Amino acid sequence: MIKRLFLFMSLMLFLLGCSVDVSALPPASGGQQEGIDVSQWQGNIDFEQVAAAGIRVVYIRSSMGSGYVDPYFEQNYQRARAAGLQVGFYHYVTARTGSQARYQAQFFVNTVRGKEFECRLAMDFEDLIGLSSEEANQIGLSFIQAVEKFSGKGAVVYSDTSNASSVFGGALTAYPLWAAEYGVSEPSSSVNWSAWAGWQYSDQGQIPGISGFVDRDVFTDAMFLESSGQVRPVDKPKPSSHTVVYRVKPGNTLWGIAHLYRVSVSAIAEENHIANPNLIYPGEKLRIPVKDDGTEADDYYYTVRSGDTLSGIAAKYRTTVSKLVSMNHIANPNLIYPGQRIRIPG
């Protein structure tokens, strides 16, 4: 009996010891390198000092949403390359539909086109307000798949461990994880990934060459492109197009439809043999010749919900009230209705 009790206690101690190990998410296999990630918030950076301090990799924010380029993007890129650092780029996603995500992916890839980099293109999708887990995963997957399609390069998911546990999962776990978790010795194993490729372990790092705080990271080999030894810029994709059918709605104008699909009025008029561009009819079906970037009409509209304000919608999509008023021909910015569809600038 005593012997069995001793064996039982030994087994429990062994299992408890194992549980400590299991609680931490392991790194992906391969080597590890110290890195940082930067944006306009770090201001002017002396990358020569950064490199001398032992930093080997820098992720640079290139862009955000569907039209914002980080004002320090070009400067950070040029200085980091000159200092001999390995470079990666990340994009802050604000999309609310799959089509918006694909458009933002195209914008991201176009922004970094011609640049040389060693690291996977990173999706930074933190703006999840108002999205269900299913919606967030669908948008994230649309974005990251489009990034790889348009660039021909590998991509990586950046997420804090909380969202990587409770929101992101499914098909997104096929992509490496750049996990953010501070104040711990190792990232939490609660995430839906089996390993971390990168770990952002602090948002209050201090490095020579940077005034103020900077994010500190550890990057494994999984963060790097397979061809990192032979760095090449993103190649220019071959142009392609297709035709979609759009049913004219009350209040539509040919100019508005053309702007929505990012094509010219004349292109639509020619495609549909329209003699008078000012004369189209509700219910009429128009063939729209569009570029093959996945953009579709309804994905750039927001349906007003009870309690919404135009200023709140503008803030959510990082635009201005005046732009929404102008694009939607709104007479009174203080008067919008539940069910009303508001066009959002792409």
SS (H, E, C) the chain: CHHHHHHHHHHHHHHHHHHHHHCECCECCCCEEEEEEECHHHCCCCHHHHHHCCCCEEEEEEEECCCEECCCHHHHHHHHHHCCCEEEEEEECCCCCHHHHHHHHHHHHHHHCCCCCCECEEEECCCCCCCCHHHHHHHHHHHHHHHHHHHCCCEEEEEEHHHHHHCCCHHHHHCCEEEECCCCCCCECCCCCCCECEEEEEEEECCCCCCCCEEEEEEEHHHECCCCCCCCCCCCCCCCEEEEEEECCCCCCHHHHHHHHCCCHHHHHHHHCCCCCCCCCCCCEEEEEEECCCCCHHHHEEECCCCCCHHHHHHHCCCCHHHHHHHHCCCCCCCCCCCCEEECCC
What are the φ and ψ backbone dihedral angles of 312, each rounded to 5 degrees?
A: -70, -40
> How buried is 269 (Cβ within 10 angstroms: 0-12 exposed, 13-18 middle, 19+ buried)?
middle
Whether 118 is catalytic: no
Q: Which candidate in 21, 126, 203, 235 is catalytic?
A: 126
Could you tell me which residues are beta bridge partners of residue 186? Answer: none
Whether 21 is catalytic: no
Q: Which candidate in 37, 217, 293, 296 is catalytic?
A: 37
Using CA atoms, how far residue 249 sits from 258, 286, 289, 294, in Å, is 14, 11, 18, 22
Active-site positions read 37, 126
